[in-house]
């Protein structure tokens, strides 16, 4: 009889409170692959095999720094994505990793 491995879950939330990019969607990348888009005040969930994953949020050519996380069997890892800084910090849109922040909760 084969052994079954319980999946883990990566859960990403984008809060409603921020005005910047309110009408735009962010890509969530898992191990460099665009895996889903998240809009204003939405949750995304990704069932995954237990292991280590690199996550990044992206919009156009910019986004967040990579967050490395470990997912155990049956574990839910929660993250929040939102703009970094404020609307007056326009220079952030010219960086590859400074426009968004992705935070493990």
CATH code of the domain containing 93: 2.60.40.1120
Structure tokens at 69: 């996380």
In a domain, 2, yes or no: no
Structure tokens at 76: 């839910």
Spans of the chain below 50 pLDDT? 1-2, 88-89, 91-94
State how far the Cα of 1 lies from the Cα of 90, in Å rounded to an integer.
58
In a domain, 72, yes or no: yes
Question: For residue 79, how many C-alpha atoms fall within 13 Å in the half-sphere facing its CB?
Answer: 30
Check residue 41 and give its pLDDT.
94
> What domain range includes position 61?
8-104
- The total domain count for the chain is 1
**Closest listed residue to residue 52, CA positions, set 73, 67, 71, 79:** 71
In a domain, 1, yes or no: no
79 strand-pairing partners? 12, 104
Reported as a single tens digit per residue, the pLDDT across 27-40 is 999 999 999 999 99
């Amino acid at each position: 009889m084969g052994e079954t491995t319980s999946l883990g879950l990566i859960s990403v939330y984008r809060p409603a409170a921020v005005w910047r990019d309110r009408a735009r969607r962010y890509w969530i990348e898992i191990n460099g692959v665009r895996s889903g888009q998240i809009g204003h005040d939405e949750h995304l969930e990704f069932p995954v095999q237990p292991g280590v994953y690199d996550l990044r949020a992206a919009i156009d050519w910019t986004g967040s720094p990579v967050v490395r996380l470990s997912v155990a069997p049956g574990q839910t890892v929660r993250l929040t994505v939102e703009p970094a800084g404020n609307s007056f910090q326009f220079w952030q849109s010219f960086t590859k990793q400074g426009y968004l922040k992705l935070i493990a909760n």
